[in-house]
Amino acid sequence: MKVLYCVSEAVPFVKTGGLADVAGALPAALAHLGHDVRLVLPRYRSISTEGLAPLFPLRITLGDATVEGAVLEGRSPAGIPIYFIECPRLFDRGGLYGEGGRDYADNLARFAFFSQAVVAIAAQAFPPDLIHCNDWHTGLVPAYLRLRERARQQGAWPALYTVHNIALQGSFPAEQFPLLGLPRDYLAPEGLEFWGQVNCMKAGLVYADLINTVSATYAREIQTAEFGAGLEGVLVARHRDLYGVLNGVDYTQWDPRVDAYLPARYDPEDLDGKRLCKRALQKEAGLEVLPYAPLLAMVSRLTDQKGCDLVAAVLPALVERGVQFALLGTGDPRYHALFAHLARDHPRHVFIALRFDEALAHRIEAGADIFLMPSRFEPSGLNQLYSMRYGTVPVVRRTGGLADSVTEATPGTLRDGVATGFVFDAYSPLAFLATVDRALDAFRDPVVWRRMQLAGMRADFSWDRSAQRYAALYREAVGRRVGGLAAGSP
Ligand code: ADP
């Protein structure tokens, strides 16, 4: 099947979070299954033009203006063809979505341009069987496809829309609607309007043929007021078209057997390398080099979503228990200040790195004993999957993909050797601390701990299975359009 996969970030080109990991790995896994998948990405300043070939110029209407750009062709290291959308006015900037903690004021124009460029590629360079859109940045693509359909233009390709995080919706004042060049009736409650605003996420949810999100639990959760961020009604209305597919792990990047970022490598049969990684991390972090002190860690965007307030609340109590803690993250300035303060108060036990650092993220995964993910909500979550592979036992809240991927330690699961982590329910410091305490108890029992580490390291969350599920969704979307003729073809 021919698939145009459009997304605002992808490893190894640009990354702010898990979306980039998915966009780097899923297309390659689909290609491995025999599909012709091509990526569309904005050409941000940090992406070099070296080796990119101009394909065709773009002239895109945004309101009264015509904005010029170009499509450049390249390839990912894995051999996936990539169309880069060049438009210096919109994308030649220091950040992806904003700078200094503030979103760019013209983000609607930027991603309306990008979305129209995706449709132009389908029309002029690569007519796909299906267009796969991801998150709010490409939510307008299905709206533009519907417009073609309405105008009876050739090529109104079916679209699958994937929600990676319902909380980030791309919401803009209605005054900016004319930018989009869409008929007035699109700005309606049954269209992309939401509480008087243009809502790009809603455009994707309303106009795509099929919708999915990144775990089965999150697919259920977002149909409720607690998790739906206001869009639960739209999702309930489309629940027959809504699926959950758990993200996978790219084990060529995230596996302690092969990870080039680590000071030592290891595997389930021999964990000596992990001990060396812990030692090296303690040294790097300025913590005491104590092999038996439990080293807890977190690598995360520092936002309300990730449970940073819970971690900050329990940290002093954990320090009293002799625990060491390493955190790598960036985000909300409030949390920067809070964690910097905690590090100052407990310099011998707490290490805080407030930056984005891919290599350190790998070294922390390998060097830590316990990984903390007490998220309020977590669509899929990747770090808990990475942690398990690195023998770093996760403590997670029972939500979204965390609930779907971590097997809670109970007498039964421990006996059967399938327990991979510790899980708690109530979003409260008390519940969280009690669960970390359970993890610390288990850590002190080398036999139990080793069993849990091995169960996690041997669990398989590779992309193959998830890629097959995406391929089935593609067939379903295409099949609906052509009366089932395409179903079954790869
Ligand atoms: P989300 O997509 O919500 O940010 P995920 O757990 O799905 O959360 O994915 C987060 C990804 O981003 C992981 O690959 C993680 O290692 C990485 N990451 C997050 N913050 C940082 C950071 N400060 N430095 C390096 N990598 C980070």
Partnered with residue 280 across adjacent β-strands are none
**Pocket probe mutation, ligand 1, options 16, 218, 251, 300, max atoms within 8 Å of Cβ:** 300
Q: What would the mean pLDDT of 133-155 be, rounded to a whole number?
A: 91
Which pLDDT value is given to residue 101? 79
**Pocket probe mutation, ligand 1, options 7, 8, 21, 376, max atoms within 8 Å of Cβ:** 21
Q: Provide residues with CB under 6 Å of ligand 1.
A: 17-19, 21, 299-301, 328-330, 356-358, 361, 380-383
Q: What would the mean pLDDT of 5-28 be, rounded to a whole number?
A: 96
Q: How far apart are CA 361 and CA 375, in angstroms?
A: 18
pLDDT in tens, 348-401: 999 999 999 999 999 999 999 999 999 999 999 999 999 999 999 999 999 999
Query: DSSP strand E in 408-473: where?
Result: 422-424
| pLDDT for 484 beyond 70 | no
Sequence ranges of the domains in the chain? 2-248+464-482, 272-460
CA 18 to ligand 1 center in whole angstroms: 5
pLDDT-based confidence at residue 483 (cuts at 50, 70, 90): low
CA 333 to ligand 1 center in whole angstroms: 17
| pLDDT for 487 beyond 50 | no
**Pocket probe mutation, ligand 1, options 383, 386, 461, max atoms within 8 Å of Cβ:** 383
272-460 topology per CATH: Rossmann fold (3.40.50)
Which pLDDT value is given to residue 118? 98
Partnered with residue 68 across adjacent β-strands are 59
User: pTM of the predicted model, to two decimals?
Assistant: 0.93
**In this structure, CATH architecture of domain 2-248+464-482:** 3-Layer(aba) Sandwich (3.40)
Mean pLDDT value across the chain: 96
Closest-CA residue, ligand 1 atom 14, reads 18
Cβ-based burial of 89 (10 A; exposed 0-12, middle 13-18, buried ≥19): middle
Decide: helix, strand or coil at residue 153: coil
| pLDDT for 482 beyond 90 | no
pLDDT in tens, 222-243: 999 999 999 999 999 999 999 9
Ligand 1: nearest atom to the Cα of 15? 12
Which pLDDT value is given to residue 152? 76
- Name the nearest CA neighbour of 135 among 237, 17, 241: 17
Which pLDDT value is given to residue 311? 98
Closest-CA residue, ligand 1 atom 8, reads 18
Contact 372, 362 (CB under 8 A): no
| pLDDT for 154 beyond 90 | no
| pLDDT for 488 beyond 70 | no
CA 190 to ligand 1 center in whole angstroms: 34
CA 141 to ligand 1 center in whole angstroms: 26
CA 163 to ligand 1 center in whole angstroms: 17
